[in-house]
Amino acid sequence: MKSSKWYAEPTSENEVILHLLKEVIYNGRSPFQKIEVIETGNYGKCLFLDGILQSAETDEFIYHEALVHPAMLLCEDPKRVFIGGGGEGATVREVVRYPVSEIVMVDLDEEVVRVCREFLPEWSNGAFDDPRVKVVYADARNYLSDAKEKFDVIILDLTHLVEGGPARLLYTEEFYRIVYNALTEKGVMVTQFYSLGISYLQLFASLVTTVNQVFSCVKPYVASIPSFFAPWGFVLAAKSTLLDEHSHKFQDRLAKVEKGLKFYDLDSHRSMFYLPKHIKEALVKGGDIIRDKGF
Amino acid sequence: MKSSKWYAEPTSENEVILHLLKEVIYNGRSPFQKIEVIETGNYGKCLFLDGILQSAETDEFIYHEALVHPAMLLCEDPKRVFIGGGGEGATVREVVRYPVSEIVMVDLDEEVVRVCREFLPEWSNGAFDDPRVKVVYADARNYLSDAKEKFDVIILDLTHLVEGGPARLLYTEEFYRIVYNALTEKGVMVTQFYSLGISYLQLFASLVTTVNQVFSCVKPYVASIPSFFAPWGFVLAAKSTLLDEHSHKFQDRLAKVEKGLKFYDLDSHRSMFYLPKHIKEALVKGGDIIRDKGF
Amino acid sequence: MKSSKWYAEPTSENEVILHLLKEVIYNGRSPFQKIEVIETGNYGKCLFLDGILQSAETDEFIYHEALVHPAMLLCEDPKRVFIGGGGEGATVREVVRYPVSEIVMVDLDEEVVRVCREFLPEWSNGAFDDPRVKVVYADARNYLSDAKEKFDVIILDLTHLVEGGPARLLYTEEFYRIVYNALTEKGVMVTQFYSLGISYLQLFASLVTTVNQVFSCVKPYVASIPSFFAPWGFVLAAKSTLLDEHSHKFQDRLAKVEKGLKFYDLDSHRSMFYLPKHIKEALVKGGDIIRDKGF
Amino acid sequence: MKSSKWYAEPTSENEVILHLLKEVIYNGRSPFQKIEVIETGNYGKCLFLDGILQSAETDEFIYHEALVHPAMLLCEDPKRVFIGGGGEGATVREVVRYPVSEIVMVDLDEEVVRVCREFLPEWSNGAFDDPRVKVVYADARNYLSDAKEKFDVIILDLTHLVEGGPARLLYTEEFYRIVYNALTEKGVMVTQFYSLGISYLQLFASLVTTVNQVFSCVKPYVASIPSFFAPWGFVLAAKSTLLDEHSHKFQDRLAKVEKGLKFYDLDSHRSMFYLPKHIKEALVKGGDIIRDKGF
């Protein structure tokens, strides 16, 4: 082993990823979390919050396109979009591609947004300057509870569901009722989940079971993001129905945004929604409902 | 950090995975490589060759089913099957599910087979005792060059293509000509590749370009294997045509083996063959042909 | 970095030693602690308790000779010796070199003694079979409190003083009063401490201040033990006076044991007791008294 | 384990120290080596050359005082002093305490000196501005070969003797003959060595045997430097005789510099020169002579 600087990311009690650390670009602490921008050997510039990788320069496009485009395209005619979290600005960057009228992004941590705009400007790529975008620094749950006007799409780009973690209350049945109420009749919501490594399938099943308590149409999906070291789970849900991806409408709307995209196209869409047998079986069995108090 | 034992797997110059080491089950060295069976915290029992993870108890089923079943099912009526490598016995375990007449497995390293049969018996699950299975300890390339009888399916379950690595000559244009000649007219071959992390896409494109020099029908595909920490590439190729997965024939044959499978089904098949946009674009650009001498 | 197995020993919040792990010789858990015998690359067979290195094959002789011989030789005519801890058996191995009448070793953890006798037999080297040695599995503090017959030398070979650690109550003023009362009029006690790295000098000063509350003659000393990665502190104390190392008596008695020793001789003795300026200055300033309740 | 940044220092094939990395203060490369100034968790600011720790803020005083003062005080009346290496400026800082007439420091790497003066100014503490100090950027061996005027003290503050390392030719018999010839009749030289961990004793014995080929009076000694994780070896040698540390002259001269020192005093001096038994025995056996060609 040659001497070197490493960034140690413990992805579980049983595993640590050592990223070659080429440069510490930013290193600070907000009232909510430790914020670091690190140049790594394999993934270019990376944002770490409390030591967990959030986005990597080389492949954040996979994560953000996988999060945003299914919901935006399966929703028939989105005008008002809500983003919970999303501090890097890459989620909003994907949403501004659409002819929506308003995008409200609610992130707890102003400092994350400031750091990303300064040190990772390609992430938001100017989207924060779009006049349709409104950024609010607040708790997303409180904001949605109190929201007077409804949203067509709600995108939840949160830190991971970990027992006791800060975003835990944004993955509960009670929270999804708030989301449901904040959506228009044809509204669609999507949330990121976490690794679908074998040991996390049970928790994914719990999340899908939980969303199922509230929404009539629930579609879990998977995308593989190299810098996250795992197949990655998402859950999309609609109050009523979704556009069919075979429909002209879906494909016409896709054609209008597809040129700028790097990961997402119709093949990617299909690949993500065809789930492997072992994941389907875990979802059929289901899991405990995640509630505000204990789970 | 609590004190603990770790198995350090350097997956590149820029990255090391530390696996929690629960037990060293076997630790030895054959004439060809270092062989270790390690109980890890996240993936149960794991086989490492020269320090690189080959198969993990928790999810080897994904890798082996993804490797074997597309080739076996897309080939119309396979009778004779060749496996190059495959020492753990899990590839042969998947092949014996089919009504084939003969399976020849050629692995360089007898010691790997012995260690896996003793310490990882669930991997082969008795398949080595199947009378149709013949195991030869030899160089797969030499064996195929000299083979008199042709094969319907050739499955290449090798250590990774790394410049200078022992299996490098099993990923070259010259080798694929040998494979081509060893196949029957409707024959199908498949090889595993490596991670499709962004920095490996160029090498994957080279491999696909290389196979394209020899085969008329080439289908790259991807499966996500959690313990390999990445989307994983495969290349399948046919001398003439492949069965269509929408055909009754394909689906009937799948129905006969599907019950025992954990990962592979029609959804998984489709998901694997729909490639994301950035991978397709890398493949369209292509890469240098991999030849025996330099590349 | 080549792939490899490592034993990670966190020596503080700020530092981890990775020992090349050649073999896990024993791995278990007693009611009191995790017990591991590991063959490392640099130090041969090593005993780890709760993940902290206790003794290493290559240089345990330095630690154990440095712990035992100053106290045994500076005490005028020791007959009864008490060892607190000492589970490896190497401390008792050093004591049986002397013409004493009785050696009582009190260790909490029978399992440590059993594991060391089985896997590290060179450590005790048969000393447990000496008829003068009596081993008791109990709390050393309780044992000394209740002891009817007094001891000439008390050797404290304990796990480290760490706030909240299991041996903490064997480093307090209250405990040293028990030790004092359990010693004969010319009695001598010695305890190991920990690293004298710059950041631990203050705690060492506290320990010396604490022993000074009870004993009239206190002599801290230092030996450098490579596998402990630091200069190592000890504190020796006498109820009344000590033999002078220039005396014939001291040197005669040393001559009788010296032949079997590897580290300790008159030069080593002198080297250990001449303290560097910065350590003396830290001791002159002193530290807070360590008491049973808080410190 | 909490997420964190670590600096990995491989101290041998069998061992890696992970230092908590608080800040990368400087990171560059000279024509000769990689130069890094890192703020670590345990040792404050540290200079690493080619990944190996050279000096640490918390305890560089031990290393530099141990290197300089024995030679300066055991030499009867030093006027001209040569320093080979010493780029940090801490060796020259210790030498300027004496009433010498000239100090010539010859370091290969101007960049190291520049970086240390900028980022570690406390190391040299203004000594480079002393009019008696002359800094030359050249090969120390060539410089000494060609030197016309002789030196009273030659201090070799080099990177470690490692087979094939850049400083290897500054530890050979041929080099020590050059040193010998460059010294005045009462001249004294000292060189740092490396860890005296058990596995390095044989190499230390080789070095002492080598110096013994050239000098009549050779005194190896040891100091324990916490951030170097080991007892550390030095070799001092004189062309004729040395002052006795019991002499008034030695003690008077010590009294004049002692006030500013943190580690070195008469006790430290004695402690360093009384060698433990196992080190003396290794030295008595001796080792192979280190020559320019092979050893």
Model pLDDT for residues C112-162, shown as the tens digit of each residue: 999 999 999 999 999 999 999 999 999 999 999 999 999 999 999 998 887
On average, the pLDDT of chain D sits at 94
D284 touches chain B (CB under 8 A): no
D21 touches chain C (CB under 8 A): no
Strand A52-56 vs strand D217-225: parallel, antiparallel, or unpaired?
unpaired
C7 to chain B: which residues are within 8 Å by CB? 3-6
CA-CA distance, B263 to C97, in Å (whole number)?
67
- Angle between helix D248-258 and D60-74 (nearest 10): 140
Confidence band of B166 (pLDDT split at 50, 70, 90)? confident
Contact A230 B231 (CB under 8 A): no
B23 touches chain C (CB under 8 A): yes
N- to C-terminal Cα distance for chain B? 43
Catalytic residue, candidates D157, D252, D265, D267:
D157
- pLDDT tens digit string along B262-292? 999 999 999 999 999 999 999 999 999 999 9
Interface size between A and C, measured as CB pairs under 8 A: 3
**Beta-carbon-side half-sphere exposure of residue D212 (alpha carbons within 13 Å):** 14
Confidence band of A2 (pLDDT split at 50, 70, 90)? low
Mind telling me how many Å the CA of C148 is from chain D's nearest CA?
Answer: 39
**Triad B164, B169, B171: Cα angle to 5°:** 105
CA-CA distance, A272 to A190, in Å (whole number)?
14
pLDDT score recorded for residue C2: 59
Query: Choosing among C1, C2, C3, which should be mutated to test the B contact, i.e. which has the most B CBs within 10 A?
Result: C3
- CA-nearest residue to C22 within chain B is B27
Chains contacting D (3+ CB pairs below 8 angstroms): A, B, C
- pLDDT tens digit string along B63-103? 999 999 999 999 999 999 999 999 999 999 999 999 999 99
B1 to chain D: which residues are within 8 Å by CB? 1-2
**Residue B158 pLDDT more than 70?**
yes
- pLDDT tens digit string along A40-80? 999 999 999 999 999 999 999 999 999 999 999 999 999 99
3-class secondary-structure state, position A17: strand
Chains contacting B (3+ CB pairs below 8 angstroms): A, C, D
- CA-nearest residue to A23 within chain D is D24
Query: Choosing among A1, A2, A4, A5, which should be mutated to test the D contact, i.e. which has the most D CBs within 10 A?
Result: A5
Closest CA to C138 of C85, C101, C190: C85
Contact C224 D229 (CB under 8 A): no
3-class secondary-structure state, position B203: helix
Contact D275 C267 (CB under 8 A): yes
Query: Quick one: B278 exposed, middle or buried, by C-beta within 10 A (0-12, 13-18, 19+)?
Result: buried
- Single-letter amino acid code for the residue at B245: E
Q: Can you say whether residue D50 is alpha, beta or left, with left for phi > 0 and alpha for psi between -120 and 50 degrees?
A: left
Query: Choosing among D5, D6, D42, D246, which should be mutated to test the C contact, i.e. which has the most C CBs within 10 A?
Result: D42
pLDDT score recorded for residue C29: 94
**Residue B13 pLDDT more than 90?**
no
| pLDDT above 70 as % of chain A | 97
Contact C9 B3 (CB under 8 A): yes
**Residue B138 pLDDT more than 80?**
yes
Contacts of C1 (CB under 8 A, 6+ apart): A1, A2, B8, B10, B16
- pLDDT tens digit string along D33-68? 999 999 999 999 999 999 999 999 999 999 999 999
Q: What mean pLDDT do residues A133-154 have? A: 96
pLDDT score recorded for residue A167: 86
Contacts of C254 (CB under 8 A, 6+ apart): C69, C73, C265, C266
Residue with tokens 């753990």: B88
pLDDT score recorded for residue A136: 97
- CA-nearest residue to C20 within chain A is A1
Contact A276 B276 (CB under 8 A): no
**Residue D293 pLDDT more than 90?**
no
- Angle between helix C60-74 and C266-273 (nearest 10): 90
- pLDDT tens digit string along B16-39? 999 999 999 999 999 999 999 999
Confidence band of D164 (pLDDT split at 50, 70, 90)? low
Catalytic residue, candidates B50, B77, B157, B292:
B157
Contact B17 A20 (CB under 8 A): no
pLDDT score recorded for residue D213: 97
Q: What mean pLDDT do residues A245-263 have? A: 94
Confidence band of D12 (pLDDT split at 50, 70, 90)? confident
Q: Give CA separation, C15 vs A50, C12, C86, C163, D102, in Å.
A: 20, 5, 27, 18, 41
Contact C41 D12 (CB under 8 A): yes
Q: Is the pTM of this model over 0.90?
A: no
Q: What ipTM was estimated for this complex? A: 0.93
Contacts of A288 (CB under 8 A, 6+ apart): A206, A209, A295
D271 touches chain A (CB under 8 A): no
CA-CA distance, D57 to D19, in Å (whole number)?
14
Confidence band of D163 (pLDDT split at 50, 70, 90)? low
B276 neighbors A268 (Cβ within 8 angstroms): yes
Interface size between A and D, measured as CB pairs under 8 A: 58
A17 touches chain D (CB under 8 A): no
D230 touches chain A (CB under 8 A): no
Flag residues of chain C having pLDDT under 70.
1-3, 163-165, 294-295
Residue with tokens 């067509």: A152
- pLDDT tens digit string along B206-262? 999 999 999 999 999 999 999 988 899 999 999 998 999 889 999 999 999 999 999
CA-CA distance, B8 to B216, in Å (whole number)?
41
Q: Which of A166-175, C160-169, D12-21, D260-269 has the highest mean pLDDT?
A: D260-269
pLDDT score recorded for residue C164: 62
C14 touches chain B (CB under 8 A): no
CA-CA distance, D220 to C267, in Å (whole number)?
14
pLDDT score recorded for residue A3: 60
Element (H, E) at C225: strand C217-225
A162 touches chain D (CB under 8 A): no
- pLDDT tens digit string along D226-248? 998 889 999 999 999 899 988 99
CA-CA distance, B59 to B55, in Å (whole number)?
8
- pLDDT tens digit string along C173-187? 999 999 999 999 999
A14 touches chain B (CB under 8 A): yes
- CA-nearest residue to A2 within chain C is C1
User: What radius of gyration, in Å, describes the C-alpha atoms of chain B?
Assistant: 18
On average, the pLDDT of chain C sits at 94
Of B10, B23, B27, the CB nearest to C3: B10
Confidence band of B164 (pLDDT split at 50, 70, 90)? low
Contact A276 B271 (CB under 8 A): yes
